[in-house]
Amino acid sequence: MRTVAVTRIGSLRDPDESARGQVGVVDFPDQPLGDEDVRIRVAYAAICGSDPHLAEGFFGTDVPIGLGHEISGVIEALGEKAHRTGLQVGDRVAGNFLRFCGTCLPCREGKQQFCEHIQDYNRPGMAETITWHESQVYKLPDTVSLLEGCLLEPTSVAVRIVDKTNIKVGDRVAICGGGPIGQLALQVIKMHGATSLTLIEPIAERREMALRHGAEHVIDPVGEDQYTRADEITDGRGYDIVIDASGSPRAVRGLLDIAAKGATVIYGAMYPAEFEMPLNLSDYLYLKELTLTGVFVSPYAFPRALQVLPHLELAELTQSVFDLADATEAFAMHMSGRFAKVVIRCNDIADSAASTSAVAGGAE
């Protein structure tokens, strides 16, 4: 089965081509269909910001490493006992690349994000088919196209980020970082009560994209003084909620200063493994009583992500589409930063959905 995979470990940005990481299409064995499993013919698989980290060997160095965990597709087979949720062959679906075991202590405490067997069904989805446990699979709403549906997983992350903010309607919100998670978090928190909603992002195109989809203000942290701007926007009070979706050590440093007293600050990205942010306990935790927390993965959020998905504007996140055979070019486009999101079409599947937001374009 053709599968997109890392075929050589290395940075995808390495200027030395001989040392650069490589992504290509490889033949992988078919994934077995267990009794409680569901086989999905993959329609689309989106490239995630974490995929290049796999190329760098972050989670292991034995190539080939199959890629792809943001997928949509159509069910082509069901295991004998995969009948708990009423799924049928032909259903348009998306899902969670993680299966929660339900048996380990964290699962039984209601903390599936810490499931001790979380990787058991984590399989590459940039492939002709993927086979998941039934509990990982969700039927898409009729109004969500297969192309949009491959964004269910990053949307679930945005939903979990918003959940952890404990936002109340009317709270002032700033988001740092205008990549895919930042843009999705912005749209999700816009529909969940944010006011004075501000994106902080150095790239002009991403700021403009945010303004088209709900941001009331944008700040260029390079060209502007973000403290002064934040002060103006919030009448000197600061933001009640600050979300970092940048993962950037430079960007996160100033965020505690634009947070209001008593604010919640969510670290919603991956950070360099060795990076230590200096945290002044007296200023930020004692005097300002800030709450700092983060998000790893997104259990419990998928059912609501499915409810949210039809309310999002996803055309700009799905306009760059490549065929599976062109995966190498797709990753090159991803690295160029030209599009917030690049999608791989794994199979050409007719879509019955009322696809309202897909936009022609990209490298097609």
Is 302 an interacting residue with respect to a second copy (CB under 8 A)?
A: yes
32 binding a second copy? (CB under 8 A)? no
H or E element at residue 257: helix 255-258
By the rule CB under 8 A, 289 interacts with a second copy: yes
Which lies closer to a second copy via its Cβ, residue 64 or residue 154?
154
Residue type, 21: G
Distances (CA, A) of 342 to 48, 322, 328: 8, 8, 12
Cα dihedral 314/21/98/348 (nearest 10)? 50
Interface residue with a second copy, options 24, 41, 220, 300 (CB under 8 A): 300
The residue range among 46-54, 70-78, 155-163, 224-232 that interacts with a second copy, by the rule CB under 8 A, is 155-163
Measured CA to CA in angstroms, residue 330 lies from 2, 58, 73, 146, 338 at distances of 16, 21, 19, 19, 11
Q: Which of 255, 262, 264 is nearest to 292 (CA)?
A: 264
Residue from 174, 252, 314, 327 in contact with a second copy (CB under 8 A): 252
# residues contacting a second copy (CB under 8 A): 80
Which of 19, 89, 204, 279 binds a second copy (CB under 8 A)? It is 279
Residue 136 CB neighbours (<10 A): 23
Least separation in angstroms between residue 182's CB and a second copy is 16
Alpha-carbon distances, residue 313 vs 36, 301, 355, 356 (angstroms)? 34, 19, 12, 10
Cβ contacts of residue 166 below 8 Å, gap of 6+?
264
Please select the residue that binds a second copy; options are 88, 276, 350, 360, rule is CB under 8 A.
276
The secondary structure element, H or E, covering residue 2 is strand 2-8
67 binds a second copy, rule: CB under 8 A:
no
Q: Is 339 a residue that touches a second copy (CB under 8 A)? A: no
Stretch that binds a second copy, among 64-72, 166-174, 218-226, 325-333 (CB under 8 A): 166-174
Give the H/E segment covering residue 44. strand 37-46
74 near a second copy, judged by CB under 8 A: no
**303 forms part of the interface with a second copy (CB under 8 A):** yes
Q: Is 308 in the site for a second copy (CB under 8 A)?
A: yes
**C-beta of 299: minimal distance to a second copy in Å?**
7
Q: How far is the CB of 321 from a second copy (least distance, A)?
A: 27
* Binding flag, residue 275, a second copy (CB under 8 A): yes
Q: How far apart are CA 266 and CA 244, in angstroms?
A: 6
What is the per-residue binding string for a second copy in 185-224, x denoting contact by CB under 8 A?
A: ---xx-xxx-xx----------------------------
Q: How far is the CB of 67 from a second copy (least distance, A)?
A: 21
Fill in the DSSP letter of residue 311.
G
Nearest to 302 by CA among 102, 117, 93, 106: 93
Q: Is 95 helix (H, G, I), strand (E, B) or coil?
A: strand
Q: Is 290 in the site for a second copy (CB under 8 A)?
A: yes
Write down the residue that tokens 């075991």 correspond to: 101
* 1 vs 285 by CB, closer to a second copy: 285
Q: Which among 43, 123, 66 has a CA at the least distance from the CA of 323? A: 43
**Largest interatomic CA distance in the chain:** 62
SS3 68: coil
Q: Does 110 bind a second copy (CB under 8 A)?
A: yes
Q: Does 267 engage in binding with a second copy (CB under 8 A)?
A: yes
Q: Of 7, 111, 254, 316, which one interacts with a second copy (CB under 8 A)? A: 111
CB of 138 to a second copy, least distance (A): 8
Closer Cβ to a second copy, 8 or 117, answer by number: 117
Nearer to a second copy, 128 or 216 (CB): 216
